[in-house]
Amino acid sequence: MKTNISFLTCCLLLLSTYALSAQKKGLYKHAFGVQCWTFRDHFPKAPIETLDKIKAMGFTEVEGGASGMTMEALRKACDERGLKIPSIGAGYEMLSKPMEVVKQAKIAGANFVMCAWIPHKGDDFTFEDAQKAVALFNEAGKVLKENGITFCYHNHGYEFRPNPKGEGTLMDYIIQNTNPAYVSFELDILWALHGGADPVKLMKKYGSRWQLIHAKDFKKGVVGDFTGHTPAENDVVLGTGQANWKALLKLANKIGIKHIFIEDESNNEMVNVPKSIEYLKSL
């Protein structure tokens, strides 16, 4: 260990034992990963040091990319640290160039590509927006699947408004009208709760359509809306918010979800993430 390593990093190294224990002995059968966006304020300033901290926390998987790093650089640095990148993100507009997305996924060594936002005007996500997304997801998802990559759409809360042209919500419409052979989903727990949905019921209803999970918790007592936005302080340590983690993790095992990424969008991620790991260990 270098003599100038920070006190914080030393603490994180000690916490790694707890993280690995949580992964091996906890309720969920697979290793927990972390979404790189959690460290969005750290990567641009010190990308390599940030990856060292992620490794020190005990993680073996990240969902990338990372701001300030090319995919090639991220893959190389992760390989050197024994970190896998099973999933990467792709912007909605990039899906119209699916082979470019495939290229990035192949560089990362990823089996999944997720899209986390459907563009729409203001807070008004419409049926027409959902229709266009369904068409794009089916087209891009087909190309990705033909190249060995699974496409997942990541909910963001605004999709849970009622469907004006049918039953259920616009999220129901998106899931029911995308081809299961080409389109899967990443369940973001906080954004489901924020949009008024019950993540447990969603997992039971759509089963294996869910392939990935973002482990995030929504502050108790806060009522969300359909904006897809909430103050940073509403993203809290796992187990202290509204989510039923025991039920969610049991269902994740049952339907075969192999990748759960902790994501913390608070402004206190270096404290919250180790606490979330401790909570997962306690289950």
pLDDT of residue 196: 98
Say what the pLDDT of residue 16 is. Answer: 47
Give residue 26's pLDDT: 76
CB neighbours of residue 60 within 10 Å: 18
pLDDT in tens for each of the 283 residues of the chain? 333 445 444 444 444 444 444 445 679 999 999 999 999 999 999 999 999 999 999 999 999 999 989 999 999 999 999 999 999 999 999 999 999 999 999 999 999 999 999 999 999 999 999 999 999 999 999 999 999 999 999 999 999 999 999 999 999 999 999 999 999 999 999 999 999 999 999 999 999 999 999 999 999 999 999 999 999 999 999 999 999 999 999 999 999 999 999 999 999 999 999 999 999 989 9
- Within 8 A by CB and 6+ apart from 282, the residues are 239
- Which tokens belong to 93? 């507009």
The CB-side HSE value for 123 (13 A sphere, CA atoms) comes to 10
Identify the pLDDT of residue 21.
41
Q: Position of tokens 């039920």?
A: 247
Q: Quick one: tokens of 231?
A: 């103050």
Instruction: Note the pLDDT of residue 20.
Output: 44
Quote the pLDDT of residue 25.
Answer: 60
Cβ-in-10-Å burial (0-12, 13-18, 19+) of 26 comes to middle
Structure confidence at residue 183 (pLDDT): 99
Amino acid 260: pLDDT: 98
Contacts of 204 (CB under 8 A, 6+ apart): 251
- Grouping H, G, I as helix, E, B as strand and the rest as coil, residue 62 is strand
Share of the chain above pLDDT 90, in %: 90
In contact, 265 and 235? CB cutoff 8 Å: yes
Contact 158, 196 (CB under 8 A): no
pTM: 0.91
Within 8 A by CB and 6+ apart from 258, the residues are 30
* 188-241 tens-digit pLDDT: 999 999 999 999 999 999 999 999 999 999 999 999 999 999 999 999 999 999
Q: What is the pLDDT of residue 47?
A: 96
Q: What is the pLDDT of residue 79?
A: 98
- Please tell me the CATH superfamily of domain 29-41+61-266, with its number: Divalent-metal-dependent TIM barrel enzymes (3.20.20.150)
- Cα 16 to Cα 274: distance, rounded to the nearest angstrom: 9
